[in-house]
Amino acid sequence: MAAAALIRSLQWSVAIQPESIVEHDVEPERFSRKALRRTILAGLHVNYQLQKDFYIPFETSGPYMLSMASRKWHEWRKLRRENAAKAMEALYFSLGHISLAWRIYKDLLRRMRRSEANR
């Protein structure tokens, strides 16, 4: 995404399909809950960093992340007895959204403190 934004700044065309889905054929011994949790968390934080660096439109906010965390939490509660894999993914997304909301609020406080110090 960052490369695409830089290419567009040179006034070249870039085609991006955000709806596209990629399936990875991961070897079973390499797939673990820890890897899934870390991948979800990294994806959320990388997307936020791309927004902060103005490579993609800014769409993330603390309240939105908390709202998404709540949605995923309710999804987890619904799925936990029906589909363990999807339930686990929902739980990890919920925890990831909470983590990202915390980061967003920490960034906001840091900016506010800097602003106060510069007065």
Percent of the chain with pLDDT over 70: 99
Q: Mean per-residue pLDDT for 98-109? A: 96
- Whether residue 107 is contained in a domain is answered as yes
- Whether residue 56 is contained in a domain is answered as yes
For the chain, how big is the Rg over CA atoms in Å?
18
Kindly state the tokens that stand for 66: 């908390």
Q: Give the range among 16-30, 33-47, 60-74, 95-109 with minimum mean pLDDT.
A: 16-30
pLDDT of residue 1: 67
pLDDT of residue 27: 81
Pairwise CA distance, residues 52 & 6, whole Å: 15
The label of the residue with tokens 């619904």 reads: 78
Q: Which domain holds residue 81?
A: 33-117
- Whether residue 27 is contained in a domain is answered as no
Do residues 69 and 115 touch, judged by C-beta distance below 8 A?
Answer: no
- Whether residue 26 is contained in a domain is answered as no
pLDDT tens track for 1-17? 677 777 778 888 877 78
- Whether residue 108 is contained in a domain is answered as yes
Overall domain count for the chain? 1
Pairwise CA distance, residues 63 & 90, whole Å: 18
- Whether residue 113 is contained in a domain is answered as yes
Do residues 5 and 55 touch, judged by C-beta distance below 8 A?
Answer: yes
pLDDT tens track for 25-52? 878 777 789 988 999 999 999 999 999 9
- Whether residue 23 is contained in a domain is answered as no
- Whether residue 78 is contained in a domain is answered as yes
pLDDT of residue 3: 76
Mean pLDDT, the chain, whole residue set: 89
